[in-house]
Amino acid sequence: MLHGMTTTRYEAPGTVADALSVMAAHPGAMILAGGTDLLVQYQAGLRTPSAFIDVKRIPELMAIEADASGVTIGAAVAAADICAHPVIRAWWPGLVDGVQLIGSTQIQGRGSLGGNLCNGSPAADATGALIASGAVAHIAAPSGVRTVPVEQFVLAPGKTALAPGELLVSVRLPKPAAHTADAYQRLIPRTEMDIAVASVAVSITLDPSGLCTAARVVIGAVAPTPLLVPEAGAALAGTTLDAAALERAALAASAAARPIDDKRGTVAYRTTVVGVLTKRVAAIALSRAKER
């Protein structure tokens, strides 16, 4: 329902500081980046913000900055720009795996990384890979900037670590160690343009002999939040990712899953396939890491 009898303000601040003051002045406001979720939900009457605060005019939120120790991605940067960025493509192919699955080509031209994260969805396609690669979120608050690991950012479906009046500015990914690579896959009911029923992101680091020295396994859409599963990572670390190790990781992932039954998938199905995906995604990460 559109609210014909009420009005909704539109603000477009040019700096983070201005954005914070506009947010303080409009407690019922919502941040507008690509709008690919928010505007649709607004049109459907599911969201009724008192104001839209468009953050696309704030330079920090629109930039990708690569340096020797990592890359910082502005929260409002569109999916298409992330997928096209040469350093991101080279260092985090698993992040690109996930980001390029968000919506359609048109959606990717607008939909932002920050929006994907701030939706607080357990099924968000970018979040798993960010967690697997140890990304941190930079959050601007009236009291200053704070940093939160992405695995602590999503608290519950639709709920994030952002306090009222706080703004996600960017996400920082540390440069991967040598022989490190990531991968991401999801399972959806149809073949494209759908939301994950189960997803897995894996990042692994090998030593020069090919032995896995560290692994992070993240499962999505099978719990209220994306879950970093240390047991699955531990099952891979110290192995060559042989079949037995992959099987142990799969069991750990399935054991950690706490899915719900809904119209898109059952508990039993989600629990099973998150294990299968763990094996497959770890194998992809392994082959990528070997090429490094």
Interface with another protein (CB under 8 A): 1-5, 187, 189-194, 197, 263, 265-266, 268-269, 272-273, 276-277
Provide the minimum distance between the beta carbon of 104 and another protein in the complex, in angstroms, as a whole number: 9
| Residue among 273, 220, 217, 278 nearest 246 (CA) | 278
Kindly tell me which of 173 and 183 has the beta carbon lying closer to another protein.
Answer: 183
From CA 176, how far away is CA 88, in angstroms rounded? 11
Q: Is the dihedral of CA 87, 32, 35, 117 positive or negative?
A: positive
User: Tell me, what amino acid is at 289?
Assistant: A
Provide the minimum distance between the beta carbon of 111 and another protein in the complex, in angstroms, as a whole number: 15
Provide the minimum distance between the beta carbon of 216 and another protein in the complex, in angstroms, as a whole number: 23
Provide the minimum distance between the beta carbon of 76 and another protein in the complex, in angstroms, as a whole number: 24
Kindly tell me which of 171 and 249 has the beta carbon lying closer to another protein.
Answer: 249
Kindly tell me which of 5 and 68 has the beta carbon lying closer to another protein.
Answer: 5
Provide the minimum distance between the beta carbon of 275 and another protein in the complex, in angstroms, as a whole number: 9
Kindly tell me which of 20 and 273 has the beta carbon lying closer to another protein.
Answer: 273
From CA 208, how far away is CA 219, in angstroms rounded? 28
Kindly tell me which of 213 and 272 has the beta carbon lying closer to another protein.
Answer: 272
CB atoms within 10 A of CB 281: 28
Directed axis angle between helix 267-290 and helix 243-256, to 10°? 140
Kindly tell me which of 173 and 200 has the beta carbon lying closer to another protein.
Answer: 200
Q: Please say whether the beta carbons of 236 and 216 come within 8 A.
A: no
Provide the minimum distance between the beta carbon of 165 and another protein in the complex, in angstroms, as a whole number: 31
From CA 139, how far away is CA 155, in angstroms rounded? 15
Kindly tell me which of 142 and 189 has the beta carbon lying closer to another protein.
Answer: 189
From CA 27, how far away is CA 180, in angstroms rounded? 43
Provide the minimum distance between the beta carbon of 52 and another protein in the complex, in angstroms, as a whole number: 18
CB atoms within 10 A of CB 15: 12
Strands 144-149 and 136-141: antiparallel
From CA 68, how far away is CA 151, in angstroms rounded? 24
- Coil, helix or strand for 220? strand
